[in-house]
Amino acid sequence: MSHRRTFSLVACLVTVLAFANNLGQGAGDTWPANVQVSENTGNPQSETSLAADPNDPLHLVAIWWEVIQYDPQDPGMRQKRLNWAWTRDGGLTWQSRRFENGIYSSDPAIVADRDGNFYIETILVPHFPYQDGVSIGILKSTDGGETFVKTADVGLDRSMDKPFMGIDPVTGALYVVWVDSGEKSFRLRHSSRIYLAVSYDHGASFTPPRQISATDSPGFFPMPTVGPDGEVYVIWHETENGRKLFLDRSLDGGRTWLQHEMVIAVANQGPAQQGFGFYQPSLAVDRSSGPRRGRLYAVWIRGTPDTVDIQLAWSDDRGDRWSDPVRVDDDAPASGAYHSRPWVLVDDRGRVHVTFNDYRLGADVPLKAEYMATSTDGGMTLGPNIRVSDGAYPNMIFGGDYDQPAVGGNRLHAIWSDARSGHNDVFTQSVDLDDFDEDGILNDGDLDGQYADHRCTGGATAHCDDNCPGTPNADQSDADGDLVGDACDNCPEAPNTNQFDTDRDGIGDACDAA
Ligand SMILES: [Ca+2]
Ligand SMILES: [Ca+2]
Ligand SMILES: [Ca+2]
Ligand SMILES: [Ca+2]
């Protein structure tokens, strides 16, 4: 849009404290050791997005929202503002700021361009609930994330929700997508259409908003990504119960789109989990120079009457055809544990990483932990799930809909919110992609290209893969010889390679009391 609203971006420096919480624990003694990114304001903080500077993998910027006021009787009546933070030491220490502008701001995402500029999109609502003046604000930082200046308003003055942004790292083109629900009728999701606007001038201006979803593919939670040849993909959930998962595609920089969307999968298969059917799906493309360059990966949650799982599928023909989905979470299928908020990334060696929220811990009360899983064979199989949060925490109000991690410099930076302090705060864990738990035993110690496929056992500690890739155990001892090291084996004296713990009491099914 050409018209610009006055919008004072008074960024108030609230903290320059670092929140490294290593507490003297040496690497290798205790892993993971999370770092808190958000200031401890006592307010819920969530919906995280993280971007790494392509020129400096130690330099990352995170964005999220903070609920500063809400009606406990009606949590939908709330006021949110944006917080952001930057690190220049790979996530050991962070500095944070927030926007003090009095404007409701939500659903943020951040990307970096190849010159090290960072761009944020966020929905802006001057008068909540949804009245006049709704826009998607684009903010740009040219100083590495210390300050942001608003460069554009995107979108129509209509009911808009769930914006997300992607970037072509070669050209710097910015793709912003969102849900349009008509004129000031936010709750009419049955009419939700997916809209797009593009900037070809580094955020200074955007093309007029246009609808890209066909009439038979209404949706929610759109998310864009860009492939190595500039191909643009957008994924979203079908509006009605999140059943189908749609893919749209442009091969000319966002100018023309498919007339009819591809269907990646049927995501929500049961009526019992409707609330989970709306959560954000995610896409990533292999941009490496490896054999799977251009392969497209999608992750989403699949609701069934019994549980909610994370699914991963891939396409080698730009989304025309998709693999059968594989289940990412590896806990006992019958445990009923929910999994949510998945995100997929492909690193510069073609390894595929998925981060997600997980409720497998906690038999009596739902306890939330952050996990990751890696595929080294192009999405055919996944290695053991690794817990990256340094504990499991209660599920609290305002947990958000997504957590977007980043990769850079052979490290994955997981980011999420959890309520370890009684309300949601934002945490990170930097993960070495060759040796997750930094115990000196590589994930792929036999160097055959696959993690955890030839795991150490029988006393071996060399030329074999870490048998507890998420738990430091340099000795690799494995008393029962089931290829799961004693340090992470939930039943260390009875073989149970699958580690299933259906009743979620921390003791494997194989040695639960009969
Ligand atoms: Ca191996
Ligand atoms: Ca280990
Ligand atoms: Ca074992
Ligand atoms: Ca058990």
Tell me: the pLDDT tens digits for 2-17?
Answer: 333 333 333 333 333 3
Containing 227, the helix (H) or strand (E) segment is none
Instruction: Give the strand order in the sheet containing 160-167.
Output: 160-167, 174-180, 193-199, 210-211
The answer to whether 392 and 425 are in contact (CB under 8 A) is no
- The mean per-residue pLDDT over the stretch 215-221 comes to 89
Q: Please tell me the distance between residue 467's alpha carbon and the centre of ligand 4 in angstroms.
A: 21
pLDDT of residue 129: 60
Nearest ligand to the C-alpha of residue 491? 3
Question: Quick one: pLDDT band at residue 185, thresholds 50, 70, 90?
Answer: low
Q: What distance separates the 2 farthest-apart alpha carbons in the chain?
A: 70
Structure tokens at 390: 């340094």
Q: Please tell me the distance between residue 389's alpha carbon and the centre of ligand 2 in angstroms.
A: 16
Side-chain half-sphere CA neighbours of 237 within 13 A: 27
Tell the residue number behind the tokens 């507890």, with chain if given. 468
Nearest ligand to the C-alpha of residue 495? 3
The answer to pTM > 0.95 is: no
CA-nearest of 115, 249, 226, 245 to 174 is 226
Q: Please tell me the distance between residue 127's alpha carbon and the centre of ligand 2 in angstroms.
A: 51
Instruction: Give the strand order in the sheet containing 326-327.
Output: 282-285, 296-303, 308-315, 326-327
pLDDT of residue 240: 67
All residues with CB under 5 Å from ion ligand 3: 478, 480, 482, 484, 489
403-404 and 45-53 beta bridge pairing: parallel
Nearest ligand to the C-alpha of residue 497? 3
Q: Please tell me the distance between residue 330's alpha carbon and the centre of ligand 4 in angstroms.
A: 15
Amino acid at 182: G
Integer Cα distance of 195 and 218 in angstroms:
11
Q: Please tell me the distance between residue 327's alpha carbon and the centre of ligand 2 in angstroms.
A: 23
Question: In this predicted model, what pLDDT tens digit does every residue of 72-123 receive, in sequence order?
Answer: 888 778 889 999 999 999 999 999 999 987 888 999 999 999 999 999 999 9
Q: Please tell me the distance between residue 432's alpha carbon and the centre of ligand 1 in angstroms.
A: 16
Q: Please tell me the distance between residue 507's alpha carbon and the centre of ligand 4 in angstroms.
A: 4
Question: Quick one: pLDDT band at residue 184, thresholds 50, 70, 90?
Answer: low
* Residue-range domain boundaries for the chain: 45-433
Q: Please tell me the distance between residue 494's alpha carbon and the centre of ligand 4 in angstroms.
A: 13
As a whole number, the mean pLDDT across the chain is 89
Nearest ligand to the C-alpha of residue 507? 4
Neighbouring CB atoms inside 10 A of 477's CB total: 18
Integer Cα distance of 196 and 207 in angstroms:
9
Q: Please tell me the distance between residue 454's alpha carbon and the centre of ligand 2 in angstroms.
A: 14
Tell the residue number behind the tokens 């990412």, with chain if given. 328
Residues 6 or more apart whose CB falls under 8 angstroms from that of 466 comprise 435, 436, 437, 439, 441, 442, 443, 445, 452, 455, 456, 473, 476, 485
Question: In this predicted model, what pLDDT tens digit does every residue of 333-355 receive, in sequence order?
Answer: 999 898 999 999 999 999 999 99
Q: What is the 3-state secondary structure (H, E, C) of 99-127?
A: ECCCCEEEEEEEEECCCCCEEEEEEEECC
Question: Quick one: pLDDT band at residue 153, thresholds 50, 70, 90?
Answer: very high
Strand partners, 119: 111, 140
Nearest ligand to the C-alpha of residue 473? 2
- Please, what CATH class does the domain formed by 45-433 belong to? mainly beta
Q: Please tell me the distance between residue 391's alpha carbon and the centre of ligand 4 in angstroms.
A: 18
List the end-to-end C-alpha distance of the chain, in Å, as a whole number: 66
pLDDT of residue 307: 84
pLDDT of residue 190: 52
403-404 and 406-408 beta bridge pairing: unpaired
Nearest ligand to the C-alpha of residue 510? 4
Residues 6 or more apart whose CB falls under 8 angstroms from that of 148 comprise 9, 11, 84, 118, 120, 139, 140, 141
Q: Please tell me the distance between residue 385's alpha carbon and the centre of ligand 2 in angstroms.
A: 13
All residues with CB under 5 Å from ion ligand 2: 437, 439, 466, 468, 473
Lowest mean pLDDT among 145-159, 245-259, 280-294: 145-159
What Cα–Cα distance (Å) separates residue 363 from each residue in 125, 342, 487?
41, 22, 21
CA-nearest of 80, 199, 208 to 151 is 199
What Cα–Cα distance (Å) separates residue 452 from each residue in 258, 386, 433, 441?
40, 12, 13, 11
Question: In this predicted model, what pLDDT tens digit does every residue of 295-309 receive, in sequence order?
Answer: 999 999 988 878 889
pLDDT of residue 9: 37
pLDDT of residue 226: 98
Nearest ligand to the C-alpha of residue 481? 3
Position with higher pLDDT, 500 vs 272: 500
CA-nearest of 226, 176, 219 to 194 is 219
**How long a stretch of residues is the chain?**
514
- The mean per-residue pLDDT over the stretch 128-145 comes to 85
Q: Please tell me the distance between residue 478's alpha carbon and the centre of ligand 3 in angstroms.
A: 4
Q: Please tell me the distance between residue 502's alpha carbon and the centre of ligand 3 in angstroms.
A: 18
